Amino acid sequence: MIIIGIESSCDETAVAVVKDKKEVLSSVVASQIDVHTEFGGVVPEVASRIHVENISYCIEKALKDANITMEDVDAVAVTQGPGLIGCLHVGVQAAKTLAFAYHKPLVPVHHLAGHIYANELVVDMKYPVLALVVSGGNTELVYMKDETSFEILGETQDDAIGEAFDKVARVLGLGYPGGPKIDKLAKEGKPVYELAKPKTQGRYDFSFSGLKSSVLQFTKRMERQGKTFDMADLACSFQECALDEIFSRVRAVLDDHKDIRHFVVGGGVSANSRLREKVEELRNEYPEVEFTVPPMYCCTDNASMIGVAGTIAYLSGRRGNASLTADSSLEI
């Protein structure tokens, strides 16, 4: 079974060809990071226009790299949401055009499901699964009883964790995207500064906006008092607080749900080196659970994961028709 996957929910135009759910025949990712770096973050209108410019080339290149034509494709999968609405529309319209021009089934896919199923590219997921999705737009803990059921146990009440990394990096003048820069700087520091601990109501929910403001207030206070501070120590203090917020919730879920067999991570923030260390700590604490953090190429936005998700959705019978439209706040 050959699926072409299309992803355009944020600032990457991506097209991939995936065979039999696991084998990536080609994967093209046109990143817009250089353009958005100039603005210090993703500008939605600019992002959608660049998707329009890139999408046809990415489709052509993905087919060429896979050494196939549209005749060989069994279905067209596309990220329907969530994401930036103008960006999503570009991918959805392209997928509809391909599907109807070549008489292929159209399969709408949820972006978060894509991040979770990316793990299938490196491991066979064992259900029930607990998935942690940490990206620039999402922070969620998802329980999957089986391959096609998704229950959101916890989610952020305000900013996504990647957004908090990016905003704190901006306060520290590190540039965009901030996550990798904070990760690198934090390695040279110690978590010596006390920042506001996040407060949330739900046992499994997250909050990052208070922590982000606390970093801003700290820098302003230092400036007012004419004091200097160590940037690396501040980056490290922020990163430890943000990850403590994540891992205290992960432990709570693992303690409460003894049936979980596999813990997987998805989304751009899973590239974080300290997060990866903390998953290793969990491995020792919960020896009965399997832990997977996929390699970088599966973590950040890509279309291979949409190809995998599309294969699973296609086999479960999901189809889109001519009235399919992008949905910026699509429920999983």
Nearer to ligand KG4, 200 or 300 (CB): 300
Nearer to ligand KG4, 183 or 245 (CB): 183
3-state secondary structure the chain: CEEEEEECCCCEEEEEEEECCCEEEEEEEEECHHHHHCCCCCCHHHHHHHHHHHHHHHHHHHHHHHCCCHHHCCEEEEEEECCCHHHHHHHHHHHHHHHHHCCCCEEEEEHHHHHHHHHHHCCCCCCCEEEEEECCCCEEEEEECCCCCCEEEEEECCCCHHHHHHHHHHHCCCCCCHHHHHHHHHCCCCCCCCCCCCCCCCCCCECCHHHHHHHHHHHHHHHHCCCCCCHHHHHHHHHHHHHHHHHHHHHHHHHHCCCCCEEEEECHHHHCHHHHHHHHHHHHHCCCCEEECCCHHHHCCCCHHHHHHHHHHHHCCCCECCCCCCCCCCCC
Q: Please, what is the minimum distance in Å from the beta carbon of residue 184 to ligand KG4?
A: 8
Residue numbers in the known binding site for Fe cation are 111, 115, 301
Amino acid at 316: S
Among 179, 210, 294, 320, binds ligand KG4 (CB under 6 A): 179
Nearer to ligand KG4, 108 or 267 (CB): 267
Q: What mask of x and - would describe binding to ligand KG4 in positions 219 to 258, judged by CB under 6 A? A: ----------------------------------------
Q: Please, what is the minimum distance in Å from the beta carbon of residue 173 to ligand KG4?
A: 15
Question: Site size for ligand KG4, by CB under 6 A?
Answer: 19
Q: Please, what is the minimum distance in Å from the beta carbon of residue 103 to ligand KG4?
A: 32
Binding flag, residue 178, ligand KG4 (CB under 6 A)? yes
Residue numbers in the known binding site for substrate are 133-137, 166, 179, 183, 272
Nearer to ligand KG4, 214 or 272 (CB): 272
Q: Per CB under 6 A, which of residues 117..156 are in contact with ligand KG4?
A: 135-137
Query: Whole-angstrom Cα distance, residue 174 to residue 188?
Result: 15
Q: Per CB under 6 A, which of residues 268..297 are in contact with ligand KG4?
A: 268-269, 271-272
Query: Whole-angstrom Cα distance, residue 149 to residue 131?
Result: 12
Q: Please, what is the minimum distance in Å from the beta carbon of residue 323 to ligand KG4?
A: 26
Binding flag, residue 166, ligand KG4 (CB under 6 A)? yes
Stretch that binds ligand KG4, among 53-61, 159-167, 230-238, 257-265 (CB under 6 A): 159-167
Among 300, 303, 305, 311, binds ligand KG4 (CB under 6 A): 300
Stretch that binds ligand KG4, among 102-110, 218-226, 264-272, 312-320 (CB under 6 A): 264-272
Residue numbers in the known binding site are 111, 115, 133-137, 166, 179, 183, 272, 301
Q: Please, what is the minimum distance in Å from the beta carbon of residue 64 to ligand KG4?
A: 25
User: What letters, b where the CB count within 10 A reaches 16 and e where it falls short, cover 73-102?
Assistant: bebbbbbbbbbbbbbbbbbbbbbbebbeee
Interacting residues with ligand KG4 (CB under 6 A):
10, 135-137, 162, 165-166, 177-180, 183, 267-269, 271-272, 300-301
